[in-house]
Amino acid sequence: MWRKRRVWFGLAAVLAVLLGFYLFSGAPAVEVASPARGPAVEAVYATGTVEPVHYAEIASKITSRVTQVRVREGQRVSAGDVLAVLNPQEDASNVAQLRAQLVLAENDLTRSRSLREKGHIAASALDRAVSARNSARGLLDAAEARLDEHYIKAPLAGEVMRLPNQVKPGDMAQTGQVLFVVGEPSQLRIEAEVDEEDIPRVKTGQEALLRADAFAAQDLKGQVSELTPFGDPVARTYRVYIQLPADTPLLSGMTAEINIIISRKTDAMLVPATSLAGGHVWVVEDGRAKLQKADMGAVGQDKAEIRSGLAPDARVIVNPAGLKEGMRVRARHKD
């Protein structure tokens, strides 16, 4: 009897070993790595366009034919310089007639005052002469303002940076059509759009790392100089201005990708970015895959920062594709 029991106990042990070997050998192998320590940078991503700090888009206020274009792209101008002339003939003729009418009205007022002083006309006649003179003056002021609209002038000193429509004599300028862009190309900034979810973390003075296709091999930098207080409710973005240094190689009109630096750490806990899953990190515990909740920091293409929630000796699954939580796995440390 005792010998039989020993046989049964021996068979049970062998079966347990075989079952364990079967279960273990059927579990998929996963590559694991321990959290590492290193630098981490948290940034807010945005895109934007380079523009002058001071510039103006100068549009026509009237519809008229262009008779003169007095400047070219790249030319320096002063405030008030005439950039182009739109056919002023009709309005110039009207101004000349109204000036003559004003002279007549002022002469009539002078005579009326003299006659009134001598008692030859009633006060009402003098009032009519004053009113006629004032009316003539008002009509002339309006006509001169209308005539002035035929002369497209620079509102500020700078460089003619662009003729958006390449206007030339003979073209018909339309009301509201931008004819010139005048600005100072030596003082540049980037106008960027930041998502409304990220804007609370963006502050003036923060460093910005820039990337532009034209200068892909260069490290370009800027600084947040201004934030608009009211966002775009449709695009759900806020406008942010990035001041560029005087020696920047960027040119007006270029597009740039921007990373606004929110924080820097020199000794952060880092795990492979591939191990993340919606605020969790894939780890191996007791031979099974598990989603460990953790507080995330900066997330890059290769590495992710873990602020808290993960043990320093955790076995982090490098590539958890196809795994389900609780699945039995065989951990293999990354070389």
- pTM tops 0.75, yes or no: no
DSSP single-letter state for residue 297: E
What are the residue boundaries of the structural domains of the chain, listed by start? 27-39+265-333, 44-54+184-264, 60-86+150-183, 89-148
The CATH class given to the 89-148 domain equals mainly alpha
User: Which pLDDT tens digit goes with each residue over 31-47?
Assistant: 999 999 999 888 999 99
- Point out which residues pair with 217 in neighbouring strands: none
The CATH class given to the 27-39+265-333 domain equals mainly beta
Residue pair 86/169 in contact by the 8 Å Cβ criterion: no
User: Which pLDDT tens digit goes with each residue over 240-257?
Assistant: 999 999 999 999 999 999
| Closest by Cα among 105, 192, 161, 320 to 331 | 320
Q: Which residues of the chain carry a pLDDT beneath 70?
A: 1-26, 334-335
For domain 44-54+184-264, the CATH superfamily is Efflux pump adaptor protein, beta barrel domain (2.40.30.170)
Residue pair 30/313 in contact by the 8 Å Cβ criterion: no
Q: Give the number of other CB atoms < 10 A from CB of residue 37.
A: 12
For residue 97, which phi and psi values (nearest 5 degrees)? -65, -40
Domains 27-39+265-333 and 60-86+150-183 share a fold: no
Q: Could you name the CATH architecture of 60-86+150-183?
A: Beta Barrel (2.40)
How many residues are recorded in the chain? 335
| Residue 2, pLDDT score | 41
